[in-house]
């Protein structure tokens, strides 16, 4: 099979650019978005300042203070000045309160794009044939499927996230916009998968690996409503050399170098025993394991964003129950996208701080006893979202509901890597993502619909609901929704930047 030709790496041309390197080197936020520092002082200014700030003994300080006081004329309007000062303090406090409640969407002036960026074509990853495990025979069609590793693109890593973008003259203030890379369908996210994952070139929905457990996340995630997708087991759990599969839903904090259900940020099921997996602890669930030839259906239900927002802002972590029924609420999250354009091997990417695991969640992996673990998991369930659940189906038949009251993901429950410019905000992409973990030759395929192998009978009547949040929808519909949401927030960011410039840059920093 032909491979994409690697483009010679470009020189660093913008702040925060990612250095090119070997495939094992993941780009890092070298300096991040830069804020304007203090003005540089000349040598004379520094000397004058040093002389002015020369330390005086207490008697000299009192003498100078009295001299300044006696030389100044009395101020008859002292009270009005105090009132004016209080008014300024009050206005400043109000502005800070508003900023806390409604954070400024864009705090940084993004660097201008170069003329050549306007004519640059989006670059696909390079698809490279691995030394072994390069193909397998599809069990249903008999077709020989080639699998490839990918290169010439950044991989998300702990603390940093990368999204393809391009220069956009349509947004003169913003300057850039997010783009999609082909194939333009729901698929594996090239950036949000382990670097050891192998994918097919045509659809990028089939995954495997030659290593131990590695995970691939989809490029579509869900935040509210009811959704369904299928995982087709193409190879695994039929012999000692066939590998294994784990499948489920994960948040962005979940590691891609471990299987689904390894930590508290993902819920999964395993093929060997059919157990449900959460925080690396297995519990009996499926009566029979699943293997090559089986189709596992995964359904998720999440309450409306309006409920989640009020619950996140409540001291008790709860919101009025009526919001669970009022799915037509127009309340939306205040989406803030702190991201900076950078280049990696000729392709523009947005670079931003990624959500990372927090200590109290990581500590769940180190419980001293099973009693401690059970108590902590009970506490987590109480903190979970009501009317949220995951159902599992095998070849179209309902198996059970292994997980309920899924943990919330909106801030403050998701937080980025600590940094000078990091803010705990919702960037519009927080939620749960379809995920597949493969082990030593196991092969599985994402099927996001709408053409499913088995669409469960008990979900068909729910799929006909007129209420979009109560209707069970295929994940394929989420792809176009995400693009529309991103365009909407681009427009909002553009307007906010224009307003900031009209206000003399009061809300925008270099």
What is the model's pLDDT at position 325? 52
More confident residue, 173 or 47: 173
Quote the CA–CA distance of 345 and 452 in Å, as a whole number. 38
Q: Are 26 and 155 in contact (CB under 8 A)?
A: yes
What is the model's pLDDT at position 316? 56
Distance of alpha carbon 360 from the chain centroid: 20
Dump pLDDT digits (tens) for 329-342.
Answer: 445 667 888 889 99
Q: Which among 17-21, 48-52, 281-285 has the top mean pLDDT?
A: 281-285
Confidence of residue 367 (pLDDT cuts 50, 70, 90): low
Domain 115-502: CATH superfamily is SPRY domain (2.60.120.920)
Dump pLDDT digits (tens) for 227-281.
Answer: 999 999 999 998 888 899 999 999 999 999 999 999 999 999 999 999 999 999 9
What is the model's pLDDT at position 441? 93
Q: Is the pLDDT score of 364 beyond 90?
A: no
More confident residue, 205 or 36: 205
What is the model's pLDDT at position 94? 54
Quote the CA–CA distance of 171 and 179 in Å, as a whole number. 14
- Cβ neighbours, 10 Å, residue 47: 11
Domain positions in the chain are 115-502
User: Omega before 450 cis (within 30°)?
Assistant: yes
Confidence of residue 150 (pLDDT cuts 50, 70, 90): very high
Quote the CA–CA distance of 455 and 51 in Å, as a whole number. 81
Q: Calculate the alpha carbon distances from 275 to 270, 288, 367, 388, 442 in Å.
A: 6, 9, 20, 20, 18
Quote the CA–CA distance of 262 and 258 in Å, as a whole number. 6
Quote the CA–CA distance of 228 and 463 in Å, as a whole number. 10
Quote the CA–CA distance of 99 and 107 in Å, as a whole number. 11
Q: Which residue has the tokens 């060997």?
A: 272
Nearest to 14 by CA among 28, 39, 34, 37: 34
Q: Calculate the alpha carbon distances from 230 to 165, 227, 261, 380, 476 in Å.
A: 30, 11, 18, 28, 11
Q: What is the DSSP letter of 311?
A: H
The model carries a pTM of 0.78
What is the model's pLDDT at position 257? 96
Query: Which range is least confidently modeled, 115-124, 446-455, 462-471, 489-498?
Result: 462-471
Confidence of residue 103 (pLDDT cuts 50, 70, 90): low
- Cβ neighbours, 10 Å, residue 101: 9
Tokens (6 digits) for 16: 């925060």
Nearest to 429 by CA among 251, 281, 204: 251
Q: Which residues contact 306 (CB under 8 A, 6 or more apart)?
A: 323, 326, 329, 331
Quote the CA–CA distance of 382 and 301 in Å, as a whole number. 17
Confidence of residue 56 (pLDDT cuts 50, 70, 90): very low
| Average confidence (pLDDT) over 29-42 | 39
Q: What's the mean per-residue pLDDT of the chain?
A: 79
What is the model's pLDDT at position 370? 62
What is the model's pLDDT at position 158? 80
Q: Are 210 and 440 in contact (CB under 8 A)?
A: yes
Quote the CA–CA distance of 152 and 149 in Å, as a whole number. 11
Beta strands in 118-239 (DSSP E): 126-128, 135-137, 144-146, 149-151, 160-167, 176-178, 188-193, 197-199, 206-209, 214-218, 225-235
- Cβ neighbours, 10 Å, residue 240: 6
What is the model's pLDDT at position 70? 40
Tokens (6 digits) for 416: 């980025």
Tokens (6 digits) for 158: 């702990």
Distance from first CA to last CA of the chain, Å, rounded?
A: 47
Dump pLDDT digits (tens) for 301-326.
Answer: 999 998 898 887 765 555 555 555 55
| Average confidence (pLDDT) over 77-91 | 52
Quote the CA–CA distance of 449 and 149 in Å, as a whole number. 25
Q: Are 128 and 149 in contact (CB under 8 A)?
A: yes
User: Across the strands, what pairs with 228?
Assistant: 299, 474
| Average confidence (pLDDT) over 128-140 | 83
What is the model's pLDDT at position 55? 40
Q: Is the dihedral of CA 407, 413, 419, 425 positive or negative?
A: positive
Q: Is the pLDDT score of 54 beyond 60?
A: no
Nearest to 192 by CA among 222, 226, 221: 221
What is the model's pLDDT at position 2? 38
Query: Which range is least confidently modeled, 111-120, 245-254, 288-297, 391-400?
Result: 111-120
Quote the CA–CA distance of 124 and 116 in Å, as a whole number. 18
Q: Are 341 and 111 in contact (CB under 8 A)?
A: yes
Dump pLDDT digits (tens) for 407-421.
Answer: 999 998 998 877 767
Q: Is the pLDDT score of 45 beyond 70?
A: no
What is the model's pLDDT at position 380? 77
What is the model's pLDDT at position 92? 56
- Cβ neighbours, 10 Å, residue 79: 9
| Average confidence (pLDDT) over 360-381 | 73
> pLDDT > 70: what percent of the chain?
70
Quote the CA–CA distance of 471 and 475 in Å, as a whole number. 12
Q: Calculate the alpha carbon distances from 200 to 188, 218, 243 in Å.
A: 10, 14, 18
| Average confidence (pLDDT) over 460-472 | 76
In three-state secondary structure terms, 412 is: coil
In terms of phi and psi (left: phi > 0; alpha: psi -120 to 50; beta: otherwise), the region of 450 is alpha
User: Torsions phi, psi of 96, nearest 5?
Assistant: -65, -40
Tokens (6 digits) for 9: 């790496």
Dump pLDDT digits (tens) for 419-462.
Answer: 767 788 899 999 999 999 999 999 999 999 999 999 999 898 77
In three-state secondary structure terms, 229 is: strand
């Amino acid at each position: 099979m032909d491979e994409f030709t690697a483009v010679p790496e470009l020189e660093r041309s913008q702040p925060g650019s990612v250095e090119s390197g070997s495939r094992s080197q993941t780009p890092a936020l070298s300096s991040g978005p830069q804020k304007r520092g203090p003005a540089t002082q000349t040598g004379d200014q520094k000397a004058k300042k040093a002389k002015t700030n020369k330390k005086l003994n207490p008697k000299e300080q009192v003498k100078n203070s009295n001299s300044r006081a006696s030389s100044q004329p009395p101020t008859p309007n002292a009270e009005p000045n105090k009132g004016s000062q209080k008014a300024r303090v009050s206005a400043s406090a109000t502005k800070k309160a508003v900023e806390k409640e409604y954070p400024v969407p864009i705090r940084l002036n993004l660097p201008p794009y170069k003329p050549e960026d306007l004519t640059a074509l989006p670059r696909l990853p390079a698809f490279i044939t691995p030394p072994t495990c390069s193909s397998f025979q599809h069990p249903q069609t008999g077709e020989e499927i080639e699998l490839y590793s990918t290169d010439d693109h950044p991989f998300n890593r702990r603390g940093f996230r990368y999204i393809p973008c391009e220069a956009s003259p349509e947004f003169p203030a913003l300057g850039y916009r997010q783009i999609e890379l082909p194939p333009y369908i729901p698929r594996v996210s090239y950036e949000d998968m382990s670097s050891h994952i192998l994918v097919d070139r045509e659809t990028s929905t089939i995954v495997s690996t030659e290593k131990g457990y590695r995970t691939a996340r989809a490029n579509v995630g869900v935040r509210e409503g009811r959704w369904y997708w299928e995982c087709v087991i193409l190879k695994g759990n039929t012999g000692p050399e066939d590998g294994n599969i784990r499948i489920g839903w994960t948040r962005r904090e979940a590691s891609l170098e471990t299987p689904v259900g390894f930590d508290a940020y993902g819920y999964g099921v395993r093929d060997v025993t059919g157990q449900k997996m959460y925080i690396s602890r297995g519990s009996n669930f499926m009566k029979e394991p699943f293997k090559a030839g089986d189709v596992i259906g995964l359904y998720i239900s999440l309450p409306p964003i309006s409920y989640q927002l009020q619950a996140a802002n409540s001291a008790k972590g709860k919101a009025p129950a009526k919001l669970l029924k009022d799915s037509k609420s127009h309340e939306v999250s205040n989406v803030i996208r702190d991201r900076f354009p950078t280049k990696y091997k000729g392709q523009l990417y947005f670079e931003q701080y990624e959500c990372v695991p927090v200590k109290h969640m990581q500590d769940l992996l180190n419980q001293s006893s099973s009693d401690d673990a059970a108590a902590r998991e009970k506490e987590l369930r109480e903190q979970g979202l009501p009317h949220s659940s995951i159902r599992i189906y095998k070849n179209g038949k309902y198996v059970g509901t292994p997980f309920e009251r899924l943990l919330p993901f909106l801030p403050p429950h998701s937080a980025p890597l600590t940094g000078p410019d990091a803010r705990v905000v919702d960037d519009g992409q927080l939620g749960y993502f379809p995920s597949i973990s493969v082990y030593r030759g196991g092969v599985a395929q994402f099927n996001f619909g709408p053409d499913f192998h088995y669409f469960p009978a008990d979900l068909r009547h729910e799929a006909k609901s007129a209420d979009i949040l109560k209707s069970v929808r295929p994940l394929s519909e989420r792809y176009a929704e995400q693009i529309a949401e991103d365009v909407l927030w681009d427009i909002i960011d553009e307007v906010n930047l224009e307003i900031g410039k009209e206000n003399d840059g009061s809300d925008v920093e270099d």
